[in-house]
Amino acid sequence: MPDIISLYNDSVYNNLKIIDKIINSDMGLNDPYLMELFNKILHTSKNELIEKWRSGKKYLRTLTAIKAFPDYSLDSLYLSISIDAIINILDDLLDENLEKQAKTIYIVEIIRTLANYHYQKSNEVLRHCIGTYFNKCIMIALLEKHFYGLLRNIKENDYLLKYSTYVYDIRSLDIDIFIEIPLLASNTIQFKDDVLKVARTYRALELIKKDMLDVEHDIDNGIDTIFTILENNKNDLYANVYNLTELYLERARNTTGSEYANIIINNFISMSENKANEIKEHTKEVI
């Protein structure tokens, strides 16, 4: 398995090389202090995100794809990591109560990542997939808030599972581009629908587990999840979590494909079963 974090870590040297050229060759400033300053700032900004990846506070969707694909193409790895980083940073900028300095560091890092992202080669089909993905991200953010509002005001438990499923179905779309990139790289995009179906199912389970573990942090930061909204009604909450887990596990097991797709689908089914077991074990601990 490739060392994804090291690849992202080393990308900072590409930024520094280009900045050095602009400062010293193009502008003729020739001031060593300036490069020391940029070196310090850019290493600080990328380390902030890397530490969250290492600690598990942020998920690497790229790693999920690598685990599922038997022959993940390393040629498109940095592109995938760049999009991962952009989405992770935007997520914190939107959700977290950040101090001004922390916001500045995040903004520097997203600009640094965008700079490297635009040096990556991509064909027309991939550019279309990426454009569609970022539109999905807009949709996720808005629809998620809509359904949390409905969950907060429900009067009947019949709607609890329905709206909770809508929330995780919507949020699970954030895995899509990380599946489409390796499919395009291996010229197997024709299997996209089957693979995306089971990948989204696994992603929903992963998000349920994350929300379960992050409940105290999310309450402190005013972040809505089904766990923060239903925090005062734990019986309904954990009955709902059990039903959600079973629903997504059944979806995963019922996914079928053909030829090459079956290898990836079976990997995602196995990953989904493991994640469902983790959720059920943690549910036993907190009830």
Most confident of 119-128, 223-232, 262-271: 262-271
Q: For residue 287, what pLDDT is reported?
A: 52
Same domain, 136 and 51: no
Of 170, 162, 161, which Cα lies nearest the Cα of 240?
A: 161
Domain membership flag for residue 154: yes
In a domain, 279, yes or no: yes
* 135 and 107 in a common domain: no
Do residues 201 and 210 lie in contact, with contact meaning Cβ atoms separated by under 8 Å? no
pLDDT confidence bin for 285, thresholds 50/70/90: low
Question: Quick one: pLDDT at residue 97?
Answer: 86
Pair (226, 154) in one structural domain: yes
108: domain range?
A: 1-57+75-121
State both tokens at 44: 């600080």
* Statement to judge: residues 33 and 137 lie in one domain: no
Give the distance from CA 31 to its chain's centroid. Answer: 39
Do residues 92 and 155 both lie within one domain?
no
Residues 161 and 180 in one domain: yes
Out of 58-62, 69-73, 153-157, least confident range: 153-157
Residues 263 and 211 in one domain: yes
Q: Is 56 a residue whose pLDDT tops 50? A: yes
**CA 157/CA 169 separation, integer angstroms:** 19
User: Where does the pLDDT of residue 286 fall: very low under 50, low under 70, confident under 90, or very high at 90 and above?
Assistant: low
Pair 273, 254 in one domain:
yes
Largest CA distance in the chain: 69
Identify whether 70 is part of a domain: no
Residue-wise pLDDT for 236-245, tens only, equals 888 889 999 9
pLDDT tens-digit readout, 168-221: 999 999 999 999 999 999 888 888 999 999 999 999 999 999 999 999 989 988
- Return mean pLDDT, the chain: 91
**What pLDDT is attached to residue 76?**
87
Pick left, alpha or beta for residue 155 (phi over 0 → left; psi -120 to 50 → alpha; otherwise beta). alpha
Please tell me the distance from the alpha carbon of residue 40 to that of residue 48, in angstroms, as a whole number: 12
Nearest to 168 by CA among 227, 220, 88, 216: 227
Q: Are residues 117 and 148 in the same domain?
A: no
pLDDT score recorded for residue 93? 92
Residues 127, 82, single domain; the answer is: no
70 vs 267: CA distance, rounded Å: 9
Span 44-67, average pLDDT: 93
**In the structure, what pLDDT confidence band is assigned to residue 1 with cuts at 50, 70 and 90?**
very low
Task: Specify whether the backbone of 69 is left (phi greater than 0), alpha (psi in -120 to 50) or beta.
Answer: beta
Q: Are 140 and 170 in contact (CB under 8 A)?
A: yes
* Statement to judge: residues 202 and 273 lie in one domain: yes
Residue 188 lies in a domain: yes
The reported pLDDT for the residue numbered 189 is 87
Shared domain check, 111 and 149: no
Q: CA 205, CA 148: separation in Å to the nearest integer? A: 18
Average pLDDT over residues 6-18: 95
Q: Compare 235 and 219 and report the one with higher pLDDT.
A: 219
Q: What percent of the chain has pLDDT over 90?
A: 71
Domain count, the chain: 2
How high is the pLDDT of residue 192? Answer: 92
